[in-house]
Structure 1
Amino acid sequence: MDTTHLARLRFTAGGPAVEGEWTVAATARDRYTEWVGLYSADPNVVVCLIEKTGGRERVLRTWTAQGETVL
């Protein structure tokens, strides 16, 4: 089973997403960090770092205005 890594950005919780998907985890982490830096001033933004294997997604990190959650 192949694993891919995603960075997902939502401008409102549960809203439409902008997403990138990579085979290299470091690339997804870099994009996650970049998006947090760019959009951290917006209290509605949610940014997630996700690992996807066999169609199943596992959220590794989530950033909201309340701070970051690492799972």
Structure 2
Amino acid sequence: MADNGDPVTQYCVKVQFEAGGPAVTGWWSVEATARRCYRDWIGVYGSDPAVVIRLVEETAGGQRVLETWPARDGEPAPEHPAPAT
């Protein structure tokens, strides 16, 4: 792809199955696709209390975490409610 000077933004979903452990990652150039995968991975892996799932935006300027499951304060993010018990 030719470099036309436009910044390239990539979206990464990272799943860690234990604190400090390796991460499984997926990369997309479309944010909506990455967000769909993020939600899907919450559905598949989110019930394990040790799992952390992050949606990260990466540009030439660095990385920015857009979403984290579970939310940093231990509660699910509002758009991803916890399953009923």
Q: Normalising by structure 2, report the TM-score.
A: 0.74
- Which segments of 5 or more consecutive residues in structure 1 lack a partner in the other structure? none
Q: Residue in 1 aligned with 2:58? A: 52
Q: Residue in 1 aligned with 2:82? A: none
Q: Residue in 1 aligned with 2:4? A: none
Aligned alpha-carbon RMSD (Å): 1.8
Counterpart AA for 1:53: T
Percent identity between the aligned chains?
Answer: 47
**Contact 1:7 / 1:21 at 8 angstroms: preserved in 2?**
yes
Deviates more, 1:12-21 or 1:58-67: 58-67
Counterpart check, 1:68 vs 2:76? yes
**Structure number, greater radius of gyration:** 2
Equivalent pairs counted in the alignment come to 70
